[in-house]
Amino acid sequence: MAFNSIGYFQFNNLLQNRIPMILVMLNEELDFKSWFNSLVNMHVDNIKVVLQPHEVVAAINEKKLPMHFAVVVIDKDGTQSPKVIEGLEAAGYTNAFYVDGGYAKILTERQQ
């Protein structure tokens, strides 16, 4: 099964352009407040959910969104997100992505 991964540039564009999506933060809320202006921060606050990996598919199903609705999964280091995407794809979601390397990698890329 092929995974859909995105990096800092794609992730930043999704948030800056306030693209409709669900942003799944695994295990804990990650801090993006200092990265963006208040408008983007409001968008992030409206689209984010903090879940454990085993809760993601059921929580997304509960929202009754179309199977093509964008779902972006991020964790601290990129180790858990690919398996979550595998589960979403198995459940029929066709527009699911994970942030390659997680929060740690995009934080590093952002600083470069």
Q: Where are the domains of the chain?
A: 5-111
Residue with tokens 């408008």: 39
- Model pTM greater than 0.95? no
Is the four-CA dihedral 12, 13, 16, 21 of positive or negative sign? negative
Instruction: Return the pLDDT at 111.
Output: 86
- Tell me the average confidence (pLDDT) per consecutive run of 10 residues in the chain, 112 residues long: 80 94 94 88 93 97 96 96 96 96 93 84
Instruction: Return the pLDDT at 53.
Output: 97
Radius of gyration of the chain, Cα coordinates, nearest whole angstrom = 13
Instruction: Return the pLDDT at 95.
Output: 96
Instruction: Return the pLDDT at 3.
Output: 62
Instruction: Return the pLDDT at 8.
Output: 93
> Do residues 93 and 61 lie in contact, with contact meaning Cβ atoms separated by under 8 Å?
no
Residues 6+ apart with CB under 8 A from 47: 20, 21, 22, 23
Instruction: Return the pLDDT at 2.
Output: 45
Q: Report the SS3 class of residue 74.
A: strand
The one-letter code for the residue type at 112 is: Q
Instruction: Return the pLDDT at 112.
Output: 81
Q: Does domain 5-111 have CATH number 3.40.50.2300?
A: no
Instruction: Return the pLDDT at 32.
Output: 86
> Do residues 75 and 102 lie in contact, with contact meaning Cβ atoms separated by under 8 Å?
yes
Cβ-based neighbour number of residue 101 at 10 Å: 21
Q: Report the SS3 class of residue 92.
A: coil
